[in-house]
Structure 1
């Protein structure tokens, strides 16, 4: 079976599909990794991630339709049309049996071209609400996978199925002890993980910078800052006392060790992108979620889903500077509450999600849509 995957803009649109690719390669289907490839934007988050994965990556022209000026909108239409032509050429060269798309505007050219050529398409929606691209692309797809029952209502009944959120197997198999050893962390001291998604998040980075000294007195901090603020924070780290430096583990980005960072942590402070819905439950990780205020309602809906089930607390972005330190202090100081939140998170995990989507892809490829 030959598979083309597409989606991007954030890691939350990439890692679920990579989990499905892992299931296809390692399970009873034994799909050759050389028969799987990714289609996305040049110099993008998805290209950066795929460079670490050993899968072929094909860059095409893409353009966003939302949040642009009138001239920007016209430029985006031109880029999408150009990407559509490139996608046709890629389909001719790669000749996939099926397409897996995870949303984001980068998915549009390939899915559009696949519909033109009659290739079967499966859309996977990682969020609690569909964005503009997924709403559009779902009309061109044969099947739509969603993570939760409550999301199925957005799509036709004859297309949609509930798969769960696919995550990498390492998240279910990595122990806390092994994860801490891999990252050079103390086995006993509490670990706070902070990250703002694949692009980083300046407000989270700034809040951590301001509260860094008391945070380090209380815990080890694994801070994935993204590239934008890394140099500034590295300078802050260099000025810390040596004992505090040893407890502050700063990274611009983590690739293959991200699973270890999640498994090692006792508490996470993060945005509420789609990955939070699958990755935090997989390791039973309590969360303080700070939804990105300019992401429509997607991140707020994701955060409310986890918070309503006792797995997370929500801090609005505008209140983060004042509330980060006392909220972390209170949670790390209450092990029983942390354990209850972790158990609530783990109860939401669906370990078979990747296999469910893989099976549906194989079925689509076999019957040709």
Structure 2
């Protein structure tokens, strides 16, 4: 039996690319399990897939001063011991890590247990978890070619992002039916990330009447962020979070407003959806989304509105400009060099398994 353990969590972007790799490995007869955190978004996603899930302790890795920085290293040590014991019991041939805080103790546990690790970095510059884990991994796959210059040691390979195949199999008609929309008016799809984005939500709602003159709107608001006062408005549907409905809803869209997490924007690119990207600011992040968005803008796949510049007027102007320019953006997307990284990653996993068995 070929066996693999997956890890990664904290946000959906650290989990959903794993699903694409899992689907292909399942077809090839691999047995798989998952190690994540108890309260992370990864548990709900993986439970939905019916894959055995194990939770370990995990401390957050911060780049700023916080009193928790003195306590969380102990949680990482605890998580490493828990991961080591799990790995010794599961005995996988290999571990695939998608990053996030929970991946660090799992990867260190793999080193202690003598299990090879292939990691994947989605963003243009490596995240802190992958930077810490680099000495312990056999190979690290990257999404952007520009990322290779940030990684030393000959371990990096540009594979692209694994794309969930179901995201490209949605039905626009079903998406419109889910929202009670008609086909004679374009659909604007708005998503502020897996946890939502309050500032985007507020800006959208402040110009809702103007947007509804031109578009029907699907608004993914984040948990607890729907507005009961807007329920029932014709042409506007809000959701906290979507899973199985996402491919159909996305298929119905003409334009997308989104944060600039790499998983989301590469899926939108694969689905050929022109994007207005509003990356997280440097005040709220390490700036990775800004770099992702600028890379896509330079290639003509999107327009970018910085969060510091987000107002009702700038959002309305950005949407209007993107819609007017959508044919050029779609033409650029058709010539994109980025493909689905799933097959290349699966080949690497299989090659490492054969190497370990030889």
Q: Taking structure 2 as the reference length, what is the TM-score of the superposition?
A: 0.93
Which structure has more RCO (C-alpha within 8 Å, separation ≥ 6)? 1
User: CA offsets, 1:169-191, max 9 Å, x none?
Assistant: 12333354454345543223111
Residues 141-152 of structure 1 correspond to what in structure 2 (within 5 A)?
A: 141-152=137-148
Counterpart-to-counterpart distance in 1, 2:126 and 2:179? 36
Question: Post-superposition shift, 1:358?
Answer: 1.0
In the alignment, what sits opposite 2:77?
A: 81
* Among candidates 306, 319, 325, match of residue 328 of structure 1: 319
Superposed CA deviations along residues 323-352 of structure 1, whole A, max 9, x for unmatched, are: 1112213333x2xx2122123234336444
- Partners of 2:334 and 2:47 in 1: CA distance: 31
Write out aligned runs for 1:298-309 (5 A).
298-309=288-299
TM-fit CA distance, 1:71? 2.6
Separation of aligned partners in 2, 1:277 and 1:57? 27
**1:272 deviation in Å?**
0.6
Aligned length in residues: 353
SS in 1 for 2:53: strand
| Structure 2 unmatched runs, 5+ | none
Determine helix, strand or coil for the equivalent of 1:368.
Answer: helix
CA spacing shift, 1:262–1:349, aligned 2, 3 Å: farther
Look up the match of 1:140: 136
Partner of 1:114: 110
1:69-105, Cα deviation, whole Å (9 max, x unpaired): 4530111101111111110111122111111111111
- Distance (whole Å) between structure 1 residues aligned to residue 32 and residue 64 of structure 2: 33
Residue 185 and residue 97 in structure 1: after superposition, are their counterparts in 2 closer, same or farther (change >3 A)? farther
1:249 is aligned, of 237, 240, 264, to 237
Is it true that 1:368 corresponds to 2:356 in the alignment?
yes
Could you tell me which of 281, 302, 308 is aligned with 1:312? 302
4+ residue runs over 6 A deviation: none
Counterpart Cα distance in 1 of 2:338 and 2:21: 13
2:12 and 2:191 map into 1 onto residues whose CA distance is 12
Question: Deviation of residue 5 (structure 1)?
Answer: 0.9
Residue aligning to 2:255: 267
Closer, same or farther: CA 70–176 of 1 in aligned 2, 3 Å: closer
Distance 1:365 1:180 in 2: 44
- Give the stretch that moved more between structures: 354-363 or 156-165: 156-165
**TM-score (ref. length: structure 1):** 0.90
1:117-138: per-residue Cα shift (whole Å, max 9, x none)? 1101001011111011111112
Q: Which residue of 1 aligns with 2:36?
A: 40
Distance in 2 between residues matched to 1:267 and 1:39, nearest whole Å: 36
Tell me the CA shift for residue 281 of structure 1: 1.1
CA contact 1:280–1:345 (8 Å) conserved in 2: no
Q: Does 1:258 align with 2:254?
A: no
Match for 1:163 among 152, 159, 164? 159
Taking the aligned partners of 1:96 and 1:273, their CA distance within structure 2 comes to 30
Distance change >3 Å, CA 352–CA 300, structure 1 → 2: closer
Residue in 2 aligned with 1:289? 277
Query: What residue ranges of structure 1 are gaps of 5+ in the alignment?
Result: none
C-alpha root-mean-square deviation of aligned residues, in Å?
1.8
Aligned to 1:250, what secondary structure does the other structure show? strand
In terms of mean alpha carbon deviation, does 255-264 or 136-145 score higher? 255-264
Give the Cα separation in 2 of the matches to 1:8 and 1:349: 28
